[in-house]
Amino acid sequence: MIDLAGLSPAALVASLMVAATPIMLAAIGELVVEKSGVLNLGVEGMMIIGAVCGFVAAVETGSPVVGLCAAIAGGMLLALIFAVLTQVLLSNQVATGLALTLFGLGLAAMMGQSYAGIKPPPTPRLDVPVLSDLPGLGPILFSHDGVLYLSIAVVFGVWLFLRQSRAGLVLRATGENHDAAHALGYKVVRIRIAAILFGGAMAGLGGAYLSLIRVPQWTEGMTAGAGWIALAIVVFAAWKPWRILIGAYLFGGVTMLQLNLQAIGVGIGVAYLSMAPYIVTILVLVIMSADRRRASLNAPACLGRAFHAST
């Protein structure tokens, strides 16, 4: 007999937001990277480096804020390697991105060896007085940590940047037709490097959210494919910032639902429940890209193509 009463909707929504935040941060960063015309498959590697850098820095200094900053720096540093290789030395983006993921996973495992099993300093919640005690809405809207609010602000900020600002227009133009952008005098390589660094920063922050806030602990390989899900969500979102939010929360929702279902003992194998979020992602992607025409309409036309200025 299943005890569905054990599923509290408010708690479920609150926890799915926490589960979705790392993916959302990494995905919104990758969206900006892809909008500039670069395909960085190293998201997973940048996330795990962010997770370990943030964890180590937070444990050593005792400050979660220092940890988060270190995670951003770590993600950017790894992204910088990718930027130099693909934008300056013109290496293949797909191969370099894959290598970045492998490199990041290995390096993180080495860095985090002596930190397994330690508890990081807790990150305070921003409990809004009175409001967070509201039944239902309180835990959903007013009782989270600062990074979660920041992630929503970043999505809004990216939307505003791409849609309203001139710099955002130039970035989109670069991803759309790099030769034309170059002919108009825009610095294609510089714009792309900046976008890649932003992507690295967001992936790093997303990784640290996992190790410092959501779990919070360091275990080897703890990102467990979150970076790949983030990449998939960018496609799911058809390169639109608000849909990143929907996609990430959908994935987070299925993840939390299956965990809750496991907890109350539904008669479905644990293995099937655990794979549910990934299967849902794959299904959604298949449905989304069934119409090849529509799928390619939103994709940046120069995505993944190397740019070499002719002189």
Return d(Cα 209, Cα 227) in angstroms, integer.
Answer: 13
In this complex, which beta carbon is closest to another protein, that of residue 114 or of residue 311? 311
Q: Which amino acid is located at 262 in the chain?
A: Q
Region binding another protein by CB under 8 A among candidate stretches 91-99, 223-231, 259-267, 295-303: 295-303
- Inter-residue contact 228 to 87 (CB < 8 Å): no
In this complex, which beta carbon is closest to another protein, that of residue 180 or of residue 287? 180
Q: Which two tokens stand for residue 89?
A: 């030395």
Candidate list 57, 58, 181, 250; residue touching another protein; CB under 8 A: 181
Query: Does position 263 bind another protein by CB under 8 A?
Result: no
The minimum distance between CB 235 and another protein, in angstroms, equals 15
* Residue 3 C-beta-side C-alpha neighbours within 13 Å: 7
The minimum distance between CB 233 and another protein, in angstroms, equals 21
Return d(Cα 192, Cα 248) in angstroms, integer.
Answer: 25
In this complex, which beta carbon is closest to another protein, that of residue 119 or of residue 293? 293
Candidate list 153, 184, 264, 268; residue touching another protein; CB under 8 A: 184
Query: Does position 110 bind another protein by CB under 8 A?
Result: no
- Inter-residue contact 36 to 174 (CB < 8 Å): yes
Query: Does position 274 bind another protein by CB under 8 A?
Result: no
Residues in the site for another protein, rule: CB under 8 A? 166, 169-170, 172-173, 176-177, 179-181, 183-186, 292-294, 296-298, 300-301, 310-311
